[in-house]
Amino acid sequence: MATPAKPVHPLLDRTRRSAELYEEAARYMPGGVTANIKHFDPYPLFMESASGARLYDVDSNDYIDYNLCYGALMLGHGHPQVLEAVREQLSRMGTPVFGTPHEMEVEMAKKLAALVPGVETVRFTNSGMEATLFALRLARAWTGKRKVAKFEGHYHGGYDQVLVSVSTRERKRGAPPEARADSMGVPEEIREQTVVLPFNDWETTESVLDRQAEELGAVILEPVQAGFIPPDPEFLSKLREYTHRHGIPLIFDEVKTGFRMGLSGAQGRFGVIPDLTALGKVLGGGFPIGAVGGRREIMELASPVRSGDILGGDKGAQGSEVLFHSGTYNGHPTVLSAGLATIRVLEKAGAFEAVEKATTKLRQGMEEILLRRGFIAQSVGTGTIFNLVFGDHPVREAQDVLRSDLTMRRRLDHLLLEQGIYIKPLNRFSLSTAHVDAEVNETLTRFEAGVKQLRRG
Ligand SMILES: N[C@H](C=O)CCC(=O)O
Protein backbone atom coordinates (compact mmCIF):
# COMPACT_ATOMS: atom_id res chain seq x y z
CA MET A 1 0.00 0.00 0.00
CA ALA A 2 1.30 3.48 -0.87
CA THR A 3 2.08 5.82 1.99
CA PRO A 4 -0.78 8.28 2.48
CA ALA A 5 0.01 11.79 1.32
CA LYS A 6 1.46 14.16 3.91
CA PRO A 7 -0.37 17.49 4.31
CA VAL A 8 2.26 19.56 2.53
CA HIS A 9 0.64 20.17 -0.80
CA PRO A 10 -0.29 23.82 -1.47
CA LEU A 11 -3.56 22.52 -2.89
CA LEU A 12 -4.40 20.55 0.22
CA ASP A 13 -7.03 22.88 1.59
CA ARG A 14 -8.85 22.95 -1.71
CA THR A 15 -8.52 19.27 -2.59
CA ARG A 16 -9.38 17.33 0.55
CA ARG A 17 -11.71 14.91 -1.21
CA SER A 18 -8.99 14.08 -3.75
CA ALA A 19 -6.63 13.34 -0.85
CA GLU A 20 -9.21 11.04 0.74
CA LEU A 21 -9.93 9.24 -2.52
CA TYR A 22 -6.24 8.85 -3.17
CA GLU A 23 -5.74 7.23 0.19
CA GLU A 24 -8.56 4.82 -0.52
CA ALA A 25 -7.36 4.17 -4.07
CA ALA A 26 -3.91 3.26 -2.77
CA ARG A 27 -5.49 0.43 -0.81
CA TYR A 28 -6.85 -1.18 -3.96
CA MET A 29 -4.54 -0.10 -6.79
CA PRO A 30 -0.74 0.02 -6.73
CA GLY A 31 0.24 3.61 -6.08
CA GLY A 32 -3.44 4.59 -6.13
CA VAL A 33 -3.52 4.87 -9.91
CA THR A 34 -4.27 2.65 -12.83
CA ALA A 35 -1.63 4.11 -15.13
CA ASN A 36 1.73 5.25 -13.75
CA ILE A 37 1.61 8.45 -15.77
CA LYS A 38 -1.41 9.60 -13.75
CA HIS A 39 0.54 9.84 -10.52
CA PHE A 40 2.09 13.03 -9.22
CA ASP A 41 3.19 14.20 -5.80
CA PRO A 42 1.74 14.41 -3.26
CA TYR A 43 -1.40 12.94 -4.87
CA PRO A 44 -3.19 13.19 -8.19
CA LEU A 45 -6.40 15.18 -8.43
CA PHE A 46 -9.63 13.27 -8.90
CA MET A 47 -12.00 14.72 -11.47
CA GLU A 48 -15.75 14.52 -11.44
CA SER A 49 -16.98 16.20 -14.60
CA ALA A 50 -15.81 18.19 -17.59
CA SER A 51 -17.10 20.48 -20.29
CA GLY A 52 -15.32 22.18 -23.18
CA ALA A 53 -11.92 23.35 -21.97
CA ARG A 54 -12.79 22.80 -18.29
CA LEU A 55 -12.34 20.06 -15.75
CA TYR A 56 -14.12 20.02 -12.38
CA ASP A 57 -12.62 18.06 -9.51
CA VAL A 58 -14.34 16.22 -6.66
CA ASP A 59 -13.91 19.31 -4.44
CA SER A 60 -15.73 21.51 -7.00
CA ASN A 61 -12.59 23.32 -8.15
CA ASP A 62 -12.49 24.21 -11.83
CA TYR A 63 -9.44 23.95 -14.06
CA ILE A 64 -8.74 25.02 -17.60
CA ASP A 65 -7.47 21.74 -18.97
CA TYR A 66 -4.21 21.64 -20.95
CA ASN A 67 -3.64 17.92 -20.54
CA LEU A 68 -6.80 16.96 -22.43
CA CYS A 69 -6.28 13.30 -21.69
CA TYR A 70 -2.70 13.49 -22.92
CA GLY A 71 -3.77 15.30 -26.04
CA ALA A 72 -6.58 12.97 -27.12
CA LEU A 73 -9.37 15.54 -26.78
CA MET A 74 -8.72 17.82 -29.75
CA LEU A 75 -12.29 19.16 -29.50
CA GLY A 76 -12.20 19.53 -25.72
CA HIS A 77 -14.54 17.70 -23.36
CA GLY A 78 -18.00 16.61 -24.43
CA HIS A 79 -18.14 18.20 -27.87
CA PRO A 80 -21.84 18.06 -28.86
CA GLN A 81 -21.13 16.54 -32.28
CA VAL A 82 -19.03 13.78 -30.77
CA LEU A 83 -21.62 12.99 -28.10
CA GLU A 84 -24.40 13.03 -30.68
CA ALA A 85 -22.44 10.71 -33.04
CA VAL A 86 -21.95 8.22 -30.21
CA ARG A 87 -25.63 8.30 -29.22
CA GLU A 88 -26.65 7.97 -32.85
CA GLN A 89 -24.34 4.99 -33.41
CA LEU A 90 -25.68 3.19 -30.38
CA SER A 91 -29.28 3.73 -31.33
CA ARG A 92 -28.85 3.07 -35.06
CA MET A 93 -26.83 -0.11 -34.62
CA GLY A 94 -28.59 -1.22 -31.44
CA THR A 95 -25.34 -2.45 -29.93
CA PRO A 96 -21.96 -0.98 -29.09
CA VAL A 97 -20.14 -3.65 -31.09
CA PHE A 98 -20.92 -6.39 -33.64
CA GLY A 99 -17.65 -8.32 -33.60
CA THR A 100 -17.89 -8.33 -37.41
CA PRO A 101 -16.78 -5.97 -40.16
CA HIS A 102 -18.97 -2.87 -40.58
CA GLU A 103 -19.18 0.16 -42.79
CA MET A 104 -17.60 2.72 -40.48
CA GLU A 105 -14.30 0.82 -40.56
CA VAL A 106 -14.22 1.30 -44.31
CA GLU A 107 -15.17 4.97 -43.95
CA MET A 108 -12.40 5.65 -41.43
CA ALA A 109 -9.79 3.68 -43.39
CA LYS A 110 -10.68 5.66 -46.54
CA LYS A 111 -10.52 8.91 -44.58
CA LEU A 112 -7.05 8.11 -43.24
CA ALA A 113 -5.81 7.09 -46.68
CA ALA A 114 -7.09 10.40 -48.05
CA LEU A 115 -5.65 12.58 -45.26
CA VAL A 116 -2.34 11.03 -44.20
CA PRO A 117 0.25 10.89 -47.00
CA GLY A 118 2.00 7.67 -45.90
CA VAL A 119 -1.22 5.69 -45.48
CA GLU A 120 -2.48 3.42 -48.24
CA THR A 121 -4.21 0.76 -46.17
CA VAL A 122 -5.11 0.60 -42.49
CA ARG A 123 -5.59 -1.75 -39.56
CA PHE A 124 -7.25 -0.58 -36.34
CA THR A 125 -6.08 -1.39 -32.82
CA ASN A 126 -7.26 -0.37 -29.36
CA SER A 127 -4.39 1.88 -28.38
CA GLY A 128 -1.42 3.72 -29.79
CA MET A 129 0.85 1.28 -28.02
CA GLU A 130 -0.72 -1.67 -29.85
CA ALA A 131 -0.31 0.27 -33.07
CA THR A 132 3.46 0.74 -32.68
CA LEU A 133 3.80 -2.90 -31.65
CA PHE A 134 2.00 -4.06 -34.78
CA ALA A 135 3.98 -1.64 -36.99
CA LEU A 136 7.26 -3.02 -35.63
CA ARG A 137 6.13 -6.57 -36.24
CA LEU A 138 5.18 -5.70 -39.82
CA ALA A 139 8.56 -4.09 -40.40
CA ARG A 140 10.49 -7.02 -38.94
CA ALA A 141 8.44 -9.48 -40.99
CA TRP A 142 9.03 -7.41 -44.14
CA THR A 143 12.80 -7.30 -43.67
CA GLY A 144 13.31 -10.60 -41.86
CA LYS A 145 15.55 -8.72 -39.39
CA ARG A 146 15.31 -8.65 -35.63
CA LYS A 147 16.70 -5.37 -34.34
CA VAL A 148 14.83 -2.13 -33.99
CA ALA A 149 16.28 1.37 -33.71
CA LYS A 150 14.49 3.99 -31.65
CA PHE A 151 15.44 7.43 -30.32
CA GLU A 152 16.39 8.44 -26.81
CA GLY A 153 13.46 10.00 -24.97
CA HIS A 154 10.86 8.75 -27.47
CA TYR A 155 7.91 6.85 -26.02
CA HIS A 156 6.13 4.23 -28.10
CA GLY A 157 4.23 2.30 -25.43
CA GLY A 158 4.94 0.14 -22.42
CA TYR A 159 6.14 -3.12 -23.97
CA ASP A 160 9.57 -4.67 -23.78
CA GLN A 161 11.28 -3.73 -27.01
CA VAL A 162 10.53 -0.02 -26.90
CA LEU A 163 10.61 0.53 -23.15
CA VAL A 164 14.26 1.33 -23.59
CA SER A 165 15.94 4.72 -22.95
CA VAL A 166 12.65 6.60 -22.76
CA SER A 167 13.96 8.23 -19.61
CA THR A 168 17.20 10.08 -20.14
CA ARG A 169 20.50 10.36 -18.35
CA GLU A 170 23.06 12.99 -19.08
CA ARG A 171 25.61 12.08 -21.72
CA LYS A 172 28.30 13.99 -23.59
CA ARG A 173 27.12 15.73 -26.73
CA GLY A 174 27.94 13.53 -29.71
CA ALA A 175 28.21 10.36 -27.60
CA PRO A 176 25.68 7.72 -28.67
CA PRO A 177 22.95 7.06 -26.10
CA GLU A 178 23.07 3.75 -24.26
CA ALA A 179 20.21 1.30 -24.48
CA ARG A 180 18.78 1.06 -20.93
CA ALA A 181 15.68 -0.87 -19.95
CA ASP A 182 13.11 1.48 -18.38
CA SER A 183 11.29 -1.19 -16.45
CA MET A 184 11.94 -4.19 -14.34
CA GLY A 185 11.00 -7.35 -16.17
CA VAL A 186 12.37 -6.38 -19.58
CA PRO A 187 14.45 -9.39 -20.62
CA GLU A 188 18.05 -8.56 -21.39
CA GLU A 189 17.91 -10.48 -24.67
CA ILE A 190 15.06 -8.22 -25.83
CA ARG A 191 16.73 -5.01 -24.68
CA GLU A 192 19.78 -6.06 -26.68
CA GLN A 193 17.65 -6.02 -29.83
CA THR A 194 17.00 -2.29 -29.41
CA VAL A 195 19.44 0.28 -30.74
CA VAL A 196 19.13 3.81 -29.35
CA LEU A 197 19.80 6.94 -31.42
CA PRO A 198 20.04 10.67 -30.56
CA PHE A 199 17.22 12.79 -32.00
CA ASN A 200 18.23 15.76 -34.17
CA ASP A 201 21.90 14.70 -34.18
CA TRP A 202 22.37 13.32 -37.67
CA GLU A 203 26.12 12.73 -37.47
CA THR A 204 25.88 10.43 -34.43
CA THR A 205 22.67 8.82 -35.68
CA GLU A 206 24.31 7.98 -39.01
CA SER A 207 27.41 6.51 -37.40
CA VAL A 208 25.31 4.26 -35.11
CA LEU A 209 23.09 3.25 -38.03
CA ASP A 210 26.13 2.44 -40.18
CA ARG A 211 27.26 -0.07 -37.56
CA GLN A 212 23.80 -1.66 -37.25
CA ALA A 213 22.14 -1.24 -40.65
CA GLU A 214 22.55 -4.88 -41.71
CA GLU A 215 20.62 -6.12 -38.69
CA LEU A 216 17.90 -3.47 -38.48
CA GLY A 217 14.31 -4.41 -39.19
CA ALA A 218 12.90 -0.96 -38.44
CA VAL A 219 13.62 2.58 -37.35
CA ILE A 220 10.83 4.09 -35.28
CA LEU A 221 10.52 7.64 -33.96
CA GLU A 222 8.16 10.35 -32.85
CA PRO A 223 8.65 12.86 -35.68
CA VAL A 224 8.12 15.56 -33.05
CA GLN A 225 9.80 14.29 -29.90
CA ALA A 226 7.33 13.81 -27.05
CA GLY A 227 4.91 15.84 -29.18
CA PHE A 228 6.73 19.13 -28.65
CA ILE A 229 10.39 19.07 -29.78
CA PRO A 230 10.31 19.70 -33.51
CA PRO A 231 12.70 17.91 -35.86
CA ASP A 232 15.50 19.93 -37.47
CA PRO A 233 14.46 20.57 -41.08
CA GLU A 234 17.17 18.28 -42.48
CA PHE A 235 17.04 15.57 -39.85
CA LEU A 236 13.87 13.81 -40.92
CA SER A 237 14.71 13.93 -44.60
CA LYS A 238 18.21 12.54 -44.01
CA LEU A 239 16.75 9.73 -41.93
CA ARG A 240 14.18 9.03 -44.64
CA GLU A 241 16.83 8.97 -47.34
CA TYR A 242 19.12 6.68 -45.28
CA THR A 243 16.43 4.15 -44.36
CA HIS A 244 15.15 4.09 -47.91
CA ARG A 245 18.66 3.44 -49.27
CA HIS A 246 19.20 0.58 -46.80
CA GLY A 247 15.74 -0.95 -47.19
CA ILE A 248 14.84 -0.34 -43.54
CA PRO A 249 11.17 0.50 -42.96
CA LEU A 250 10.78 3.89 -41.32
CA ILE A 251 7.93 4.10 -38.81
CA PHE A 252 6.48 7.40 -37.62
CA ASP A 253 4.79 7.15 -34.26
CA GLU A 254 2.17 9.84 -34.76
CA VAL A 255 0.10 8.86 -31.75
CA LYS A 256 0.70 12.32 -30.24
CA THR A 257 1.09 14.32 -33.45
CA GLY A 258 -1.71 12.79 -35.57
CA PHE A 259 -4.42 15.47 -36.09
CA ARG A 260 -2.40 17.82 -33.89
CA MET A 261 0.15 19.04 -36.45
CA GLY A 262 -2.55 19.43 -39.09
CA LEU A 263 -4.89 16.81 -40.51
CA SER A 264 -2.04 15.10 -42.36
CA GLY A 265 0.05 14.77 -39.20
CA ALA A 266 3.72 15.61 -38.76
CA GLN A 267 4.49 13.80 -42.02
CA GLY A 268 2.28 16.22 -43.92
CA ARG A 269 3.65 19.21 -42.03
CA PHE A 270 7.30 18.33 -42.61
CA GLY A 271 6.89 16.66 -45.99
CA VAL A 272 8.63 13.40 -45.05
CA ILE A 273 6.69 10.22 -45.71
CA PRO A 274 7.33 7.09 -43.62
CA ASP A 275 6.66 3.49 -44.66
CA LEU A 276 4.35 2.90 -41.72
CA THR A 277 2.47 5.25 -39.39
CA ALA A 278 1.07 4.55 -35.93
CA LEU A 279 -1.90 6.66 -34.85
CA GLY A 280 -4.06 6.89 -31.72
CA LYS A 281 -5.34 9.57 -29.30
CA VAL A 282 -7.29 12.18 -31.37
CA LEU A 283 -8.38 9.48 -33.82
CA GLY A 284 -10.71 8.02 -31.18
CA GLY A 285 -12.39 11.31 -30.21
CA GLY A 286 -11.81 10.48 -26.52
CA PHE A 287 -12.29 6.72 -26.79
CA PRO A 288 -9.47 4.17 -26.88
CA ILE A 289 -8.09 3.55 -30.36
CA GLY A 290 -4.98 3.02 -32.39
CA ALA A 291 -4.32 2.45 -36.06
CA VAL A 292 -1.46 1.46 -38.30
CA GLY A 293 -1.40 2.68 -41.85
CA GLY A 294 1.24 2.41 -44.50
CA ARG A 295 2.51 1.03 -47.75
CA ARG A 296 0.10 -1.49 -49.19
CA GLU A 297 2.69 -4.19 -49.83
CA ILE A 298 3.96 -4.15 -46.24
CA MET A 299 0.50 -3.96 -44.70
CA GLU A 300 -0.65 -6.82 -46.90
CA LEU A 301 1.55 -9.22 -44.90
CA ALA A 302 -1.24 -9.18 -42.31
CA SER A 303 -3.91 -10.33 -44.73
CA PRO A 304 -5.55 -13.58 -43.63
CA VAL A 305 -6.41 -14.15 -47.29
CA ARG A 306 -2.71 -14.51 -47.89
CA SER A 307 -1.79 -16.45 -44.82
CA GLY A 308 -4.77 -17.99 -43.06
CA ASP A 309 -5.83 -17.43 -39.48
CA ILE A 310 -4.04 -19.25 -36.69
CA LEU A 311 -7.05 -18.76 -34.42
CA GLY A 312 -9.50 -20.00 -37.04
CA GLY A 313 -8.30 -23.58 -37.07
CA ASP A 314 -7.12 -23.29 -40.70
CA LYS A 315 -5.05 -26.32 -41.47
CA GLY A 316 -2.78 -24.31 -43.76
CA ALA A 317 -2.02 -21.52 -41.26
CA GLN A 318 1.44 -22.00 -39.82
CA GLY A 319 2.57 -19.48 -37.21
CA SER A 320 5.77 -18.71 -39.05
CA GLU A 321 3.94 -17.90 -42.28
CA VAL A 322 1.25 -15.71 -40.78
CA LEU A 323 1.66 -12.13 -39.68
CA PHE A 324 -0.70 -12.17 -36.77
CA HIS A 325 -2.87 -9.18 -36.06
CA SER A 326 -6.20 -9.41 -34.33
CA GLY A 327 -8.32 -7.92 -31.55
CA THR A 328 -11.88 -8.39 -30.35
CA TYR A 329 -12.54 -4.65 -30.25
CA ASN A 330 -10.51 -3.54 -33.27
CA GLY A 331 -12.55 -1.04 -35.29
CA HIS A 332 -15.07 -0.58 -32.48
CA PRO A 333 -18.14 1.25 -33.91
CA THR A 334 -18.65 3.58 -30.94
CA VAL A 335 -15.03 4.64 -31.06
CA LEU A 336 -15.03 5.13 -34.81
CA SER A 337 -18.22 7.19 -34.66
CA ALA A 338 -16.53 9.53 -32.15
CA GLY A 339 -13.35 9.63 -34.24
CA LEU A 340 -15.17 10.36 -37.50
CA ALA A 341 -17.21 13.11 -35.82
CA THR A 342 -13.97 14.63 -34.51
CA ILE A 343 -12.37 14.62 -37.95
CA ARG A 344 -15.51 16.16 -39.49
CA VAL A 345 -15.26 19.10 -37.07
CA LEU A 346 -11.54 19.52 -37.72
CA GLU A 347 -12.10 19.47 -41.48
CA LYS A 348 -14.30 22.58 -41.31
CA ALA A 349 -12.56 25.57 -42.82
CA GLY A 350 -10.40 27.36 -40.26
CA ALA A 351 -11.07 24.93 -37.37
CA PHE A 352 -7.54 23.61 -37.04
CA GLU A 353 -5.95 26.99 -37.76
CA ALA A 354 -7.96 28.53 -34.89
CA VAL A 355 -6.44 26.05 -32.42
CA GLU A 356 -2.96 26.80 -33.72
CA LYS A 357 -3.61 30.52 -33.39
CA ALA A 358 -4.79 30.08 -29.79
CA THR A 359 -1.69 27.97 -29.07
CA THR A 360 0.61 30.69 -30.40
CA LYS A 361 -1.18 33.36 -28.37
CA LEU A 362 -0.93 31.30 -25.19
CA ARG A 363 2.73 30.46 -25.73
CA GLN A 364 3.66 34.06 -26.41
CA GLY A 365 1.64 35.28 -23.44
CA MET A 366 3.28 32.80 -21.06
CA GLU A 367 6.76 33.64 -22.33
CA GLU A 368 6.09 37.34 -21.94
CA ILE A 369 4.87 36.90 -18.34
CA LEU A 370 7.84 34.73 -17.36
CA LEU A 371 10.31 37.12 -18.93
CA ARG A 372 8.70 40.20 -17.40
CA ARG A 373 8.90 38.56 -13.97
CA GLY A 374 12.59 37.84 -14.44
CA PHE A 375 12.59 34.14 -15.36
CA ILE A 376 14.70 32.73 -18.15
CA ALA A 377 12.26 30.46 -19.89
CA GLN A 378 10.91 29.56 -23.30
CA SER A 379 8.05 27.68 -24.87
CA VAL A 380 9.00 24.85 -27.21
CA GLY A 381 6.54 23.29 -29.58
CA THR A 382 4.81 23.14 -32.90
CA GLY A 383 1.20 22.85 -34.07
CA THR A 384 -1.18 22.62 -31.13
CA ILE A 385 1.26 21.28 -28.53
CA PHE A 386 4.03 22.97 -26.58
CA ASN A 387 6.00 22.76 -23.38
CA LEU A 388 7.63 25.26 -21.04
CA VAL A 389 11.35 24.98 -20.47
CA PHE A 390 13.33 27.00 -17.92
CA GLY A 391 16.55 27.97 -19.69
CA ASP A 392 17.45 29.78 -22.89
CA HIS A 393 19.49 27.08 -24.62
CA PRO A 394 18.13 25.54 -27.82
CA VAL A 395 15.91 22.54 -27.06
CA ARG A 396 16.48 19.94 -29.77
CA GLU A 397 16.41 16.64 -27.89
CA ALA A 398 15.80 14.99 -24.52
CA GLN A 399 19.25 15.98 -23.20
CA ASP A 400 18.35 19.64 -23.54
CA VAL A 401 15.26 19.19 -21.38
CA LEU A 402 17.41 17.44 -18.80
CA ARG A 403 19.74 20.47 -18.77
CA SER A 404 16.85 22.84 -18.01
CA ASP A 405 15.64 23.82 -14.52
CA LEU A 406 13.18 21.01 -13.87
CA THR A 407 12.78 21.90 -10.19
CA MET A 408 11.52 25.35 -11.13
CA ARG A 409 9.19 23.85 -13.69
CA ARG A 410 7.74 21.44 -11.16
CA ARG A 411 7.18 24.31 -8.71
CA LEU A 412 5.42 26.32 -11.39
CA ASP A 413 3.20 23.38 -12.32
CA HIS A 414 1.98 23.00 -8.75
CA LEU A 415 1.26 26.72 -8.57
CA LEU A 416 -0.66 26.47 -11.84
CA LEU A 417 -2.77 23.64 -10.47
CA GLU A 418 -3.50 25.84 -7.49
CA GLN A 419 -4.59 28.62 -9.84
CA GLY A 420 -6.87 26.32 -11.82
CA ILE A 421 -4.71 25.43 -14.79
CA TYR A 422 -4.64 21.67 -15.21
CA ILE A 423 -1.50 20.06 -16.51
CA LYS A 424 0.27 16.91 -15.48
CA PRO A 425 3.42 18.30 -13.84
CA LEU A 426 6.32 18.43 -16.34
CA ASN A 427 4.11 17.21 -19.16
CA ARG A 428 3.27 19.11 -22.34
CA PHE A 429 0.38 21.55 -22.94
CA SER A 430 -2.19 20.62 -25.59
CA LEU A 431 -4.99 22.85 -26.83
CA SER A 432 -8.38 22.11 -28.38
CA THR A 433 -11.12 23.82 -30.37
CA ALA A 434 -12.68 24.66 -26.99
CA HIS A 435 -9.70 26.83 -26.06
CA VAL A 436 -11.07 30.01 -27.57
CA ASP A 437 -9.93 33.55 -26.78
CA ALA A 438 -11.81 33.78 -23.47
CA GLU A 439 -10.14 30.60 -22.15
CA VAL A 440 -6.70 31.71 -23.32
CA ASN A 441 -7.10 35.14 -21.71
CA GLU A 442 -8.32 33.61 -18.46
CA THR A 443 -5.43 31.14 -18.53
CA LEU A 444 -2.95 33.99 -18.88
CA THR A 445 -4.49 35.80 -15.91
CA ARG A 446 -4.30 32.61 -13.82
CA PHE A 447 -0.80 31.92 -15.13
CA GLU A 448 0.42 35.36 -14.04
CA ALA A 449 -1.05 34.81 -10.57
CA GLY A 450 0.87 31.52 -10.36
CA VAL A 451 4.14 32.97 -11.65
CA LYS A 452 3.86 35.81 -9.11
CA GLN A 453 4.32 33.23 -6.38
CA LEU A 454 7.17 31.42 -8.08
CA ARG A 455 10.38 31.84 -6.13
CA ARG A 456 13.86 31.38 -7.44
CA GLY A 457 16.38 29.13 -5.68
N1 LIG B 1 -0.24 6.35 -22.98
C2 LIG B 1 0.84 7.05 -22.37
C3 LIG B 1 0.97 6.65 -20.96
O4 LIG B 1 0.31 5.84 -20.37
C5 LIG B 1 0.68 8.53 -22.52
C6 LIG B 1 1.97 9.16 -22.82
C7 LIG B 1 1.80 10.61 -23.22
O8 LIG B 1 0.92 10.92 -23.98
O9 LIG B 1 2.63 11.43 -22.80
> Could you identify the atom of ligand 1 that is nearest to the CA of residue 255?
8
Q: Could you tell me what percent of the chain has a pLDDT over 70? A: 96
Q: Does residue 336 share a domain with residue 373?
A: no
Domain enclosing residue 261, as ranges: 80-347
Q: Which of 16-30, 228-242, 443-457 has the lowest mean pLDDT?
A: 443-457
Q: Which residue has a Cα nearest atom 7 of ligand 1?
A: 70
User: What's the one-letter identity of residue 329?
Assistant: Y
Q: Does residue 236 share a domain with residue 126?
A: yes
Q: Does residue 317 share a domain with residue 354?
A: no
Which residue did the predictor score with more confidence, 318 or 154?
Answer: 154
> Among 291, 314, 347, where does a domain finish?
347
Q: How far is the CA of 316 from the centre of ligand 1 (A)?
A: 39
Examine residue 141 and state whether it is found in any structural domain, yes or no.
Answer: yes
Examine residue 167 and state whether it is found in any structural domain, yes or no.
Answer: yes
Q: Does residue 259 share a domain with residue 169?
A: yes
Q: Does residue 326 share a domain with residue 367?
A: no
Query: pTM value?
Result: 0.96
* Ligand 1 contact via 37 beta carbon (within 6 Å): yes
Examine residue 19 and state whether it is found in any structural domain, yes or no.
Answer: no
> Could you identify the atom of ligand 1 that is nearest to the CA of residue 36?
4
Q: What is the reported pLDDT for 318?
A: 67
Q: Is the pLDDT score of 280 beyond 60?
A: yes
Q: Could you tell which of 34, 66, 70 is best to mutate to test the pocket of ligand 1, judged by most ligand atoms within 8 Å of the CB?
A: 70
Q: Is the pLDDT score of 309 beyond 90?
A: no
Domain total of the chain: 2
Q: What is the reported pLDDT for 319?
A: 66
Q: Does residue 272 share a domain with residue 123?
A: yes
Q: Which residue has a Cα nearest atom 5 of ligand 1?
A: 70
Q: How far is the CA of 286 from the centre of ligand 1 (A)?
A: 14
Q: Is the pLDDT score of 157 beyond 60?
A: yes
Q: Does residue 398 share a domain with residue 267?
A: no
Which residue did the predictor score with more confidence, 313 or 113?
Answer: 113
Q: Does residue 179 share a domain with residue 251?
A: yes
Could you report the per-residue pLDDT of 372-410, keeping only the tens digit for each?
999 999 999 999 999 999 999 999 999 999 999 999 999
Examine residue 337 and state whether it is found in any structural domain, yes or no.
Answer: yes
Examine residue 201 and state whether it is found in any structural domain, yes or no.
Answer: yes
* Ligand 1 contact via 35 beta carbon (within 6 Å): yes
> Could you identify the atom of ligand 1 that is nearest to the CA of residue 70?
8
Q: Does residue 272 share a domain with residue 366?
A: no
Q: How far is the CA of 214 from the centre of ligand 1 (A)?
A: 32
Indicate the pairing of strand 194-197 with strand 147-151: parallel
**Catalytic amino acids?**
155, 253, 281
Could you report the per-residue pLDDT of 99-150, keeping only the tens digit for each?
999 999 999 999 999 999 999 999 999 999 999 999 999 999 999 999 999 9
Say which CATH number the domain at 325 has.
3.40.640.10
- Mean confidence (pLDDT) of the chain: 95
Q: What is the reported pLDDT for 315?
A: 63
> Among 347, 376, 406, where does a domain finish?
347
> Among 347, 372, 392, where does a domain finish?
347
Examine residue 138 and state whether it is found in any structural domain, yes or no.
Answer: yes
Examine residue 31 and state whether it is found in any structural domain, yes or no.
Answer: no
Examine residue 37 and state whether it is found in any structural domain, yes or no.
Answer: no
Q: How far is the CA of 82 from the centre of ligand 1 (A)?
A: 22
Confidence band (pLDDT; 50, 70, 90) for 1? very low
Q: Does residue 239 share a domain with residue 178?
A: yes
Q: Does residue 242 share a domain with residue 93?
A: yes
Q: What is the reported pLDDT for 210?
A: 98
Q: Does residue 139 share a domain with residue 285?
A: yes
| d(C-alpha 275, C-alpha 452), whole Å | 48
Q: What is the mean pLDDT of residues 47-73?
A: 98
Which residue did the predictor score with more confidence, 331 or 311?
Answer: 331
Say which CATH number the domain at 65 has.
3.90.1150.10
* Ligand 1 contact via 70 beta carbon (within 6 Å): yes
> Could you identify the atom of ligand 1 that is nearest to the CA of residue 256?
8
Q: Is the pLDDT score of 6 beyond 80?
A: no
Q: Could you tell me what percent of the chain has a pLDDT over 90? A: 91
Q: How far is the CA of 448 from the centre of ligand 1 (A)?
A: 28
* Ligand 1 contact via 69 beta carbon (within 6 Å): no
